Amino acid sequence: MITPTHYLLLSMALFTIGLAGVMTRRNIIIVFMSIELMLNAVNINLVAYSAQVQNLVGQVFAIFVIAVAAAEAAVGLGILLAFYRNKETVNIDEINLMKW
Amino acid sequence: MAEAIAFYVLAACILGFAVLVVTAKNPVHSVVFLVLDFLCVAALYVTLGAEFVAAIQVLVYAGGIVVLYLFVVMLVNVKRPPEAFRAGGRHAMLGLALAGAVLVEAAAIAVWSRLSPAAPASAAQSLPVSGNTEQVGWLLYTSYLVPFEVASMLLLVAMVGAIVLARKES
Amino acid sequence: MVELVLIPLLKIIVVLNATLLGVTYMVLLERKVIAWAQSRLGPMRVGPYGVLQPVADAMKLMLKEDITPARADKWVFTLAPILSMVPALVVYAVIPFGDQVHLFGRQISLYITDINVGLLYVVSVTSVGVYGIILAGYSSNSKWPLLASLRASAQLISYEIAITLTLVSVVLMSGTLSMVGIVTSQASQGVWYAFIQPTAFIIFFIGGLAETNRAPFDLPEAEQELTGGFHTEYSGMRFALFFLAEYANIIVVSSVATTLFLGGWLRPFPNVEFLSFLGVVPGWCWFLLKSFVFLYLFIWVRATLPRYRYDQLMRLGWKVLIPLAIANLILTAIVKVALA
């Protein structure tokens, strides 16, 4: 029997993998992708609980999360391209112009 | 039984592909794994009876967002070999430790809250339409109309912003 | 057990084999029709009038050496043809070839499944097909495939928007996303949607040409410009997979267009009593006939029209088709509300 707890654990593990990616990788595109993994982990939770309590609001919010992820990807990658044109790098450690 | 098998297989695929996304040396490989991961997540949504979200997941995530990633990877990957994007040593260890700490913390909360399942079907909504797509649509256009419009504004702003950012200044 | 596993399995086997057979003969048909358009005979040597040519082609492609370029990204190079073939085949799961039939004392529906999000499923699965092309171009480590794949993906993404918008106006008419539901709503409204949504139909057809990389939008495979396009470096069976995927996609577009706009398995003028003698022809025959008309149109267009230039292609997509599709959608919504 698969309970929401299973989905919760799956989502936790996926979130942690995404977090580890954000923390360890230096390529900003992979950092973005790890963030997408984390958003997906949240979505799994929303949809799983929506199925459990028979209330579709969870799915509605999953759709909002996907919309926000699309916006985030578009703007994030736009910034990245603009940055890449100036500095020819996608390594976050080299993105330190604003560092004091 | 079938549900359990489907869950464990999909969960294993999701986590496995996620690990590969994070660890792949070549960003293009990461993108490929990300697509496969999203497809598995969509399959998981289908097992949960959320067909509409599953279709949107494939259409928007796998068919849209990740294509964008692939484009950008191919645009910025040309000049530097993939070896230049290795994970850093000491920072990586620290990051992994932090991620592990978050996992432990979340697991601890889950355990301490006794993993009590939420109230089952009692709270079922009654919507005037049947079918997953119709019900989600009904909610989106009635109770959640304002957030829906805000989301569309957000997408519009993001679109304009992305075009302005990515445009070459002449 | 029989209902749950055996019948769907048999249907899948039949549909997949029929599709692959259709694809191989589609290639022959194309060569023949183009040959006739150019006052040639086309393939004549293998079998009477060349009818066994597809068999010979298949043998040739299977026996050829399967080369992987030395500096290619090996497993992505192998994955790319699979990624373009699988979505093209998976779509057939929701396409209704006909209504119920009696076979061996059972009621059998002539579609593999009918799901609540059918049309959305078609759109989302086909949108995954673009990865095969992009990854093929990337992994070949060669400049022509890379250029072709960039062109192809820009083209596919641009035209996908227009196509999806036309599908939305069809869904507005039918009130359901289920493919079977769309056909039955055309039956109950007594009209094919091609007649009440002509703009959407034309945009869908043009977009379908672009989505399948067909002439006049075959820039990703322009032999004269790109030495063959994104599959330049492929040979043998992996090339064959790309080839099959392209033609399978054409059949997908034709069958989706038939389902959405030409009433699927319905006979012409489904509500005219006078023509009810047409009902003796079974529904799946009508479906195949309508799809065949589409396939023929695809070939005809290829034999007739010259290739677009890249900027013309983009202008047509973004400045003509998408605004037109949006206008059509808004108009449909207004009329629908006004009539309700």
The pLDDT value given to residue B119: 52
pLDDT tens-place string over residues C44-91: 788 788 788 888 888 888 888 877 777 777 888 888 888 888 888 888
Entry pTM:
0.88
Q: Which chain C residues contact residue B39 at CB under 8 A?
A: 128
List the single residue in B11, B117, B121 with the smallest CB-CB distance to A4. B117
Task: Provide the β-strand partners of residue C101.
Answer: C108
pLDDT tens-place string over residues C112-137: 888 888 888 888 888 888 888 888 88
Where does the pLDDT of residue C1 fall: very low under 50, low under 70, confident under 90, or very high at 90 and above?
low
List the single residue in B29, B51, B58 with the smallest CB-CB distance to C115. B51
pLDDT tens-place string over residues B58-90: 988 888 888 888 888 887 765 555 444 455 566
Where does the pLDDT of residue B150 fall: very low under 50, low under 70, confident under 90, or very high at 90 and above?
very high
With an 8 Å Cβ cutoff, are B67 and C131 in contact? yes
The pLDDT value given to residue B84: 47
The pLDDT value given to residue C218: 78
Interface test with B, best of A9, A16, A49 (most B CBs within 10 A): A16
Q: Which chain A residues contact residue B165 at CB under 8 A?
A: 75, 78-79, 81-82
Q: Distance, in angstroms, between C278 CA and closest chain B CA?
A: 35
- H helix or E strand, kind and range, residue C309: none
Q: Where are the domains of chain C?
A: 66-339
The pLDDT value given to residue B78: 55
Q: Of the ranges C38-42, C226-230, C330-334, which one carries the lowest mean pLDDT score?
A: C226-230
The pLDDT value given to residue B16: 92
Interface test with C, best of B29, B56, B74 (most C CBs within 10 A): B74
Residue B117 predicted with pLDDT over 60? no
Q: What is the mean pLDDT of residues C167-177?
A: 88
Q: How far apart are CA A27 and CA A17, in angstroms?
A: 16
Q: Which chains touch A (3 or more CB pairs under 8 A)?
A: B
- Any CB–CB contact under 8 A between A95 and chain B? no
pLDDT tens-place string over residues C6-20: 888 888 888 888 888
The residue assigned the tokens 């949607």 is C193
Please choose, from the candidates C28, C35, C63, the residue with its C-alpha nearest in 3D space to the C-alpha of residue C243.
Answer: C28
Q: How far apart are CA B111 and CA B105, in angstroms?
A: 10
More confident residue, B156 or B109: B156
Q: Which chain C residues contact residue B71 at CB under 8 A?
A: 134, 150, 153
More confident residue, C162 or C103: C162
If contacts are CB pairs under 8 Å, which of residues 1-30 in chain A contact chain B? 1-6, 8-10, 12-27, 29-30
Q: What is the mean pLDDT of residues A60-78?
A: 90
Asked whether the beta carbons of C198 and C325 are under 8 A apart, the reply is no
Q: Is C64 left (phi over 0), alpha (psi -120 to 50) or beta?
A: beta
Q: Distance, in angstroms, between A84 CA and closest chain B CA?
A: 7
| Closest residue in B to C128 (Cα–Cα) | B63
With an 8 Å Cβ cutoff, are A20 and B44 in contact? no
DSSP secondary structure code for residue A92 in this structure: G
Q: Which chain B residues contact residue C73 at CB under 8 A?
A: 26, 28
Asked whether the beta carbons of A36 and B36 are under 8 A apart, the reply is no
C21 exposure class (CB count in 10 Å sphere: 0-12, 13-18, 19+):
exposed
Delineate the domains of chain A, giving CATH numbers in brackets: 4-88 (1.10.287.3510)
DSSP secondary structure code for residue B24 in this structure: -
Q: Which two tokens stand for residue C174?
A: 């039918």
Residue type, C302: R
Q: How far apart are CA B38 and CA A56, in angstroms?
A: 21
Of chain B, the percentage scoring pLDDT greater than 90 comes to: 21
Q: Which chain C residues contact residue B132 at CB under 8 A?
A: 116-117
The pLDDT value given to residue C14: 86
Q: Which chains touch C (3 or more CB pairs under 8 A)?
A: B
Instruction: Go through A31-57 and write b for each residue having 16 or more CB atoms within 10 A of its CB, e for each that does not.
Output: bbbbbbbbbbbbbbbbbbbbbbbebbb
Residue B154 predicted with pLDDT over 90? yes
CA distances from C295 to A75, C34, C259, C299 (A): 41, 13, 14, 6
DSSP result, C128-156: HTHHHHHHHHHHTT-HHHHHHHHHHHHHH
Q: What is the mean pLDDT of residues C213-240?
A: 76
Q: Strand, helix or coil at C326?
A: helix
Q: For A28, list phi and psi in degrees, rounded to 5.
A: -65, -30
The residue assigned the tokens 């909360």 is B109
The pLDDT value given to residue C31: 87
With an 8 Å Cβ cutoff, are C73 and B28 in contact? yes
Interface test with C, best of B133, B136, B163 (most C CBs within 10 A): B133
Q: Let me know how long chain B is.
A: 170
Residue type, C81: P
The pLDDT value given to residue B146: 92
The pLDDT value given to residue B85: 46
pLDDT tens-place string over residues B9-53: 999 999 999 999 888 888 888 888 999 999 999 999 988 888 889
List the single residue in C76, C121, C153 with the smallest CB-CB distance to B67. C153
Give the other-Cβ count within 10 Å of B19's Cβ.
18
Please choose, from the candidates B164, B66, A5, the residue with its C-alpha nearest in 3D space to the C-alpha of residue C131.
Answer: B66
Q: What is the mean pLDDT of residues C195-207?
A: 89
With an 8 Å Cβ cutoff, are B131 and C130 in contact? no
Residue B123 predicted with pLDDT over 60? no
Residue type, C236: G
Asked whether the beta carbons of C317 and C210 are under 8 A apart, the reply is yes
Interface test with C, best of B59, B156, B159 (most C CBs within 10 A): B59
Task: Provide the β-strand partners of residue C100.
Answer: C109
A23 exposure class (CB count in 10 Å sphere: 0-12, 13-18, 19+):
buried
Residue type, C156: L
- Any CB–CB contact under 8 A between C127 and chain B? yes
The pLDDT value given to residue B118: 52
Give the A:B interface size as CB pairs under 8 Å. 240
